[in-house]
């Protein structure tokens, strides 16, 4: 992409300043967490804008509004990556956009790692040299239907440092901007040459610490890329005051709570941030979420051998869920090994016993099928060396060494 330049004419400058104010990205949700917003926010990115916003942008540049519809088609249907690829637009319009500092907002693919089961992990290199990971999970059903799930990241790294998760061990840098979330879905579609049918905000980072960008990306994925809201899931370990804020938007997407323990004492050992958000308060907010939205909350529970996988833990979990929620669903996730972790994956017998204990107490339960384990793309395994320290673009690829752990 050509070097971005400043606005070169007064009318154009006024137009761009107007758009920059209208499209500026607010800071992340305010919490006691050390999470930070990106040090510099570039609002002159086309990806993520709605058709109406693109029509307004076109008229700001002296074009007819239908040029905005063409821009929308080029971004979300043709999936062009560079403004000069917008061949249907007048050359003067394309040049004007670039001279004003506008860009599409697509990042180059740095590396692709494929698993034997068809799962693919993609590393995208962001403009600041940091890498994020996104995972494409294909499932082909016997009846011939095909589901492609995009597991997207919302932050570069994660500040919450859950004990069993690789991402937190790799450090934290910043929140992702909306287009940096949306482009992950487009990258997966490009690799698989197939439309993404489902999106889960379960990649690197805590979505609720970047709720504004997550909601903006959710809108784009739903309205512009046309993925149904019910085909999307937003996961969180729990951040105070954010579940109610999410409920106010009345999304039809699933809220998934990363629970991992049936009581406060054990949860604090597994999830350090739980100290600031007691389990009773979290469950009360989930109850309010159900009443506000009518959407059942799903609970993620990572099974750690000898830590939280006993039948007694299942009984305690069932009792807690019945005390707060109606129709709870628990998704059990056998621990996926990560380097340097003291935890172990439970035996299949223990997993089945835990599930049976929940079912006998009338709690709906499923066991997540492990995908992408050999590519370090399974749940809890996403981490790279350049979450905290940017990749030096001048370093030859052969000198980088292994990026993935």
CB distance 233 to 253 below 8 Å: yes
pLDDT-based confidence at residue 167 (cuts at 50, 70, 90): confident
Q: Is there a single domain that holds both residue 217 and residue 322?
A: yes
The 10s digit of each residue's pLDDT in 107-141 is 999 999 888 889 999 999 999 989 999 999 999 87
Q: Is there a single domain that holds both residue 68 and residue 181?
A: no
Domain membership of residue 402 (yes or no) is: no
Q: Is there a single domain that holds both residue 259 and residue 332?
A: yes
Q: Is there a single domain that holds both residue 73 and residue 148?
A: no
Which CATH number characterizes residue 184's domain? 3.20.20.70
Domain membership of residue 80 (yes or no) is: yes
Domain membership of residue 211 (yes or no) is: yes
Q: Is there a single domain that holds both residue 174 and residue 221?
A: yes
Q: Is there a single domain that holds both residue 215 and residue 251?
A: yes
CA atoms within 13 A on the CB side of 29: 23
The 10s digit of each residue's pLDDT in 66-121 is 999 999 999 999 999 999 999 999 999 999 999 999 999 999 999 998 888 899 99
Q: Is there a single domain that holds both residue 139 and residue 225?
A: yes
Expressed as residue numbers, the domain containing 323 is: 109-375
Q: Residue 369, Cα to own-chain centre: how many angstroms?
A: 20
Task: Kindly name the residue from 133, 180, 206, 300 that is annotated as catalytic.
Answer: 133
Q: Is there a single domain that holds both residue 197 and residue 283?
A: yes
Cα–Cα distances in angstroms (integers) from residue 388 to residues 155, 183, 325, in the given order: 11, 21, 39
pLDDT-based confidence at residue 230 (cuts at 50, 70, 90): very high
User: How many whole angstroms separate alpha carbon 196 and alpha carbon 179?
Assistant: 16
Which CATH number characterizes residue 23's domain? 1.10.150
Q: Is 133 marked active-site?
A: yes
**What torsion do the CA atoms of 7, 12, 17, 19 make, to the nearest 10 degrees?**
-120
Q: Is there a single domain that holds both residue 145 and residue 266?
A: yes
Q: Is there a single domain that holds both residue 72 and residue 115?
A: no
Domain membership of residue 383 (yes or no) is: no
Domain membership of residue 225 (yes or no) is: yes
Instruction: Report the percent of the chain where pLDDT is more than 70.
Output: 80
Domain membership of residue 401 (yes or no) is: no
Domain membership of residue 125 (yes or no) is: yes
Which pLDDT does position 398 carry in this prediction? 33
Task: Kindly name the residue from 339, 379, 385, 399 that is annotated as catalytic.
Answer: 379
The 10s digit of each residue's pLDDT in 12-56 is 333 333 333 333 323 333 333 333 444 345 579 999 999 999 999
**What torsion do the CA atoms of 268, 274, 276, 281 make, to the nearest 10 degrees?**
-120
Total of domains in the chain = 2
The 10s digit of each residue's pLDDT in 256-297 is 999 999 999 999 999 999 999 999 999 999 999 999 999 999
Which pLDDT does position 386 carry in this prediction? 53
Please give the model's pTM, rounded to 2 decimal places: 0.83
Domain membership of residue 210 (yes or no) is: yes
Q: Is there a single domain that holds both residue 61 and residue 176?
A: no
Q: Is there a single domain that holds both residue 142 and residue 20?
A: no
Which pLDDT does position 326 carry in this prediction? 75
pLDDT-based confidence at residue 371 (cuts at 50, 70, 90): low
């Amino acid at each position: 992409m050509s070097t971005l330049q400043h606005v070169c004419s007064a009318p154009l400058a006024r137009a761009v300043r107007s758009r920059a104010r209208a499209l500026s990205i607010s800071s992340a949700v305010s919490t006691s967490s050390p999470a930070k917003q990106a040090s510099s926010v570039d609002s002159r990115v086309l990806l993520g804008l709605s058709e109406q916003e693109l029509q307004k942008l076109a008229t700001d540049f002296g074009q007819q509004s239908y040029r905005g519809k063409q821009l929308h088609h080029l971004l979300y249907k043709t999936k062009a990556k560079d403004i000069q690829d917008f061949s249907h637009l007048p050359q003067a319009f394309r040049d004007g956009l670039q001279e004003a500092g506008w860009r599409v907002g697509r990042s180059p693919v740095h590396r692709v790692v494929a698993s034997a089961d068809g799962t693919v992990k993609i590393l995208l290199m962001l403009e600041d040299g940091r890498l994020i990971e996104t995972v494409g999970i294909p499932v082909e059903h016997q009846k011939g239907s095909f589901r492609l799930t995009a597991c997207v990241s919302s932050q570069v790294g994660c500040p919450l440092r859950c004990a069993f998760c690789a991402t937190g061990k790799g450090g934290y840098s910043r929140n992702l901007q909306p287009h940096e979330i949306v482009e992950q879905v487009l990258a997966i579609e490009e690799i698989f040459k197939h439309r993404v049918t489902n999106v889960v905000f379960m990649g690197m980072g805590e979505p609720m610490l970047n709720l504004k960008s997550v909601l903006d990306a959710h809108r784009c994925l739903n309205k512009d890329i046309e993925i149904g809201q019910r085909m999307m899931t937003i996961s969180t370990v729990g951040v105070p005051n954010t579940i109610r804020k999410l409920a106010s938007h009345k999304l039809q997407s699933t809220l998934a709570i990363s629970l991992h323990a049936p009581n406060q004492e054990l949860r604090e050992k597994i999830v350090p941030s739980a100290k600031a958000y007691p389990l009773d308060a979290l469950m009360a907010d989930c109850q309010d979420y159900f009443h506000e939205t009518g959407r059942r909350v799903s609970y993620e529970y990572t099974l750690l051998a000898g830590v939280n996988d006993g039948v007694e833990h299942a009984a305690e979990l069932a009792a807690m869920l019945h005390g707060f929620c109606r129709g709870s669903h628990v998704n059990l996730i056998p621990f996926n090994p990560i380097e340097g972790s003291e935890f172990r994956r439970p035996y299949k017998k223990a997993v089945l016993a835990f599930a049976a204990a929940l079912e006998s107490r009338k709690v709906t339960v499923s066991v997540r099928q492990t995908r992408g384990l050999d590519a370090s793309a399974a749940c809890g395994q996403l981490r790279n060396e350049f979450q905290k320290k940017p990749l030096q673009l001048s370093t030859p690829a052969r000198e980088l060494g292994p990026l993935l752990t």
